Amino acid sequence: MDKYNLSKLNEYLIKTSIDRLYIITDEVVNRLYMDYLKSFIGDIDQYVYILPSGEENKTIDNILSIYDDLIEKNIDRKTLIVSFGGGVVGDVAGFVASTYKRGLNYIQIPTTLLAQVDSSIGGKTGFDYKGFKNIIGSFYFPEAIFIDVSFLKSLPYREVVCGLGEVLKYGLIADYSLFQFTKDNLKYIYNKDLDILMSIVDRSIAIKQDIVTKDRYDRGLRNILNLGHTIGHSIEAYYNFSKYNHGEGVILGMMYEFYMAWELDLIDRNYFKEVYNILSSILYPISFKQKEIEDLIHIMKNDKKNIGDSIVFVLPVDRGKVDVFYHVEEDLIIKTLKGDWF
Ligand SMILES: NC(=O)c1ccc[n+]([C@@H]2O[C@H](COP(=O)([O-])OP(=O)(O)OC[C@H]3O[C@@H](n4cnc5c(N)ncnc54)[C@H](O)[C@@H]3O)[C@@H](O)[C@H]2O)c1
């Protein structure tokens, strides 16, 4: 998958043999940025499909409506699908592109920090069904991804934190200097300094692309991308995906998982403290009660990373390095979630 600056879009489109674009976006991005996007497209026929905004719209019903529209407009394989929005639009547009007429070419133009550093890279598409997140989907890789960090100027604070969780994670799994750079520049990130954003987005994309290239279909190495996710996802799910967004879950999850790693002697106290202090300055951890911990562990036991009965954790072993652990004592998980240590 190639990555370009958005300013290269027109040049890219001229080189491809497509004869029209089918842009899938959501109502917020359409209102804020459709005219801006069109200024980079030039003289190519285009249709726009506007989804309502938000996770609750990542549904089969919306996907069926897009198929109906594609059929009505006689869209064929000479059409390029353009995903223009955050992770919700990207997952839906990617799924449509992967299934309609057994696959149309598509590109990603991500507009949230999370989509720029994470969801637009890696080829995972899909939708939520019967309360299960991303339960149906496919692997389908975009031809290219186009980045413009100026989209992030209008992003609300919580959406910035959401992407930040993944950026900090990349630093902790693969490049400690990215973690340090991000923590040292938090103020500029919140203030949407475009040079700083460009730097963290570029470095994050390179890390994710490198891991995905080595394990396209998530059979091994990609597991390290799940640092913070075992506990983080259980917290998100425990609160019905309504109290914490994904990045907040990852930030919380990393705090608890770093504590576990320190208890297991995988990392020293200084490293644990360094990371904990930054993460807890973004989001304070929660002390869970016994019943809550039982529910969280029950959710973790259903995690798709697990093998057999044991809960799989990705834990830090050094600065910017992690490993996968298949046997962690339940007592340690309980002690960690009780939170007497913060
Ligand atoms: N495919 C993958 O590998 C992968 C990885 C991580 C997450 N995801 C999925 O991504 C989704 C979350 O993505 P998200 O956090 O981008 O959420 P999102 O797509 O819902 O976007 C968040 C909100 O920001 C708005 N928005 C988008 N761009 C904006 C901009 N530039 N300025 C202002 N507002 C803007 C959207 O309308 C929406 O209201 C989840 O469904 C998750 O499952 C997929």
Q: Are residues 145 and 179 in the same domain?
A: no
Would you say the pTM of this structure is higher than 0.85? yes
Average pLDDT over residues 70-88: 97
Query: Is 65 domain-assigned?
Result: yes
Please state the atom number of ligand 1 nearest to the C-alpha of residue 115.
16
Query: Is 156 domain-assigned?
Result: no
Is the pLDDT score of 265 beyond 90?
Answer: yes
Structure tokens at 100: 């309609």
Query: Is 298 domain-assigned?
Result: yes
Q: Tell me: the pLDDT tens digits for 324-338?
A: 999 899 999 999 999
Is the pLDDT score of 306 beyond 80?
Answer: no
Assign residue 25 a region (left: φ > 0; alpha: ψ between -120 and 50; beta: otherwise).
beta
Out of 107, 129, 151, pick the residue that ends a domain: 151
User: Over the chain, what is the mean pLDDT?
Assistant: 96
Query: Is 112 domain-assigned?
Result: yes
Nearest CA to ligand 1 atom 27: 86
Q: Tell me: the pLDDT tens digits for 23-44?
A: 999 999 999 999 999 999 989 9
Alpha helices in the chain (DSSP H): 9-15, 27-38, 60-72, 87-99, 113-114, 157-174, 176-184, 186-190, 194-214, 229-238, 246-263, 269-282, 290-301, 330-338
| Torsion 36-63-104-203 (CA) sign | positive
Query: Is 157 domain-assigned?
Result: no
The 3 state secondary structure assigned to 26-56 is EHHHHHHHHHHHHCCCCCCEEEEEEECCCHH
Query: Is 257 domain-assigned?
Result: yes
Q: Are residues 255 and 126 in the same domain?
A: no
What pLDDT does residue 94 have? 98
Structure tokens at 240: 């019905």
* Phi (first) and psi of residue 54, to 5 degrees: 115, 155
Is the pLDDT score of 245 beyond 80?
Answer: yes
Nearest CA to ligand 1 atom 35: 155
Please tell me the distance between residue 112's alpha carbon and the centre of ligand 1 in angstroms.
Answer: 6
Query: Is 215 domain-assigned?
Result: yes
Is the pLDDT score of 113 beyond 80?
Answer: yes
Triad 141, 143, 144: Cα angle to 5°: 110
Assign residue 166 a region (left: φ > 0; alpha: ψ between -120 and 50; beta: otherwise).
alpha
Residues in the ligand 1 pocket, defined by CB under 6 Å? 26, 28-29, 32, 53-55, 58, 85-89, 91, 111-112, 114-115, 118-119, 122, 124, 133-134, 151, 154-155, 159, 162, 246
Q: Which helix (H) or strand (E) holds 83?
A: strand 79-85
Please state the atom number of ligand 1 nearest to the C-alpha of residue 151.
31
Q: How far lies 315's CA from each of 229, 258, 322, 339, 342, in Å?
A: 10, 7, 5, 18, 19
Is the pLDDT score of 304 beyond 90?
Answer: no
CA gap 255, 275 in Å, rounded: 8
CA gap 135, 52 in Å, rounded: 20
What is the domain count for the chain?
2
Q: Order of strands, edge to edge, in the sheet holding 79-85?
A: 2-5, 144-147, 106-110, 79-85, 20-26, 45-51
Please tell me the distance between residue 115's alpha carbon and the centre of ligand 1 in angstroms.
Answer: 6
* Phi (first) and psi of residue 59, to 5 degrees: -125, 160
Q: How many CB atoms lie within 10 A of CB 85?
A: 29
Q: Are residues 186 and 240 in the same domain?
A: yes
Domain containing residue 229: 162-338
Q: Are residues 46 and 74 in the same domain?
A: yes
Structure tokens at 283: 């989001």
Out of 151, 173, 206, pick the residue that ends a domain: 151
Q: Are residues 166 and 210 in the same domain?
A: yes
Q: Are residues 258 and 295 in the same domain?
A: yes
Is the pLDDT score of 307 beyond 80?
Answer: no
Out of 132, 151, 170, pick the residue that ends a domain: 151
What CATH number is given to the structural domain containing 198?
A: 1.20.1090.10
Structure tokens at 56: 């609750």
* pLDDT band with cut points at 50, 70 and 90 for residue 310: confident
Q: Are residues 175 and 133 in the same domain?
A: no
Q: Tell me: the pLDDT tens digits for 146-199?
A: 999 999 999 999 999 999 999 999 999 999 999 999 999 999 999 999 999 999
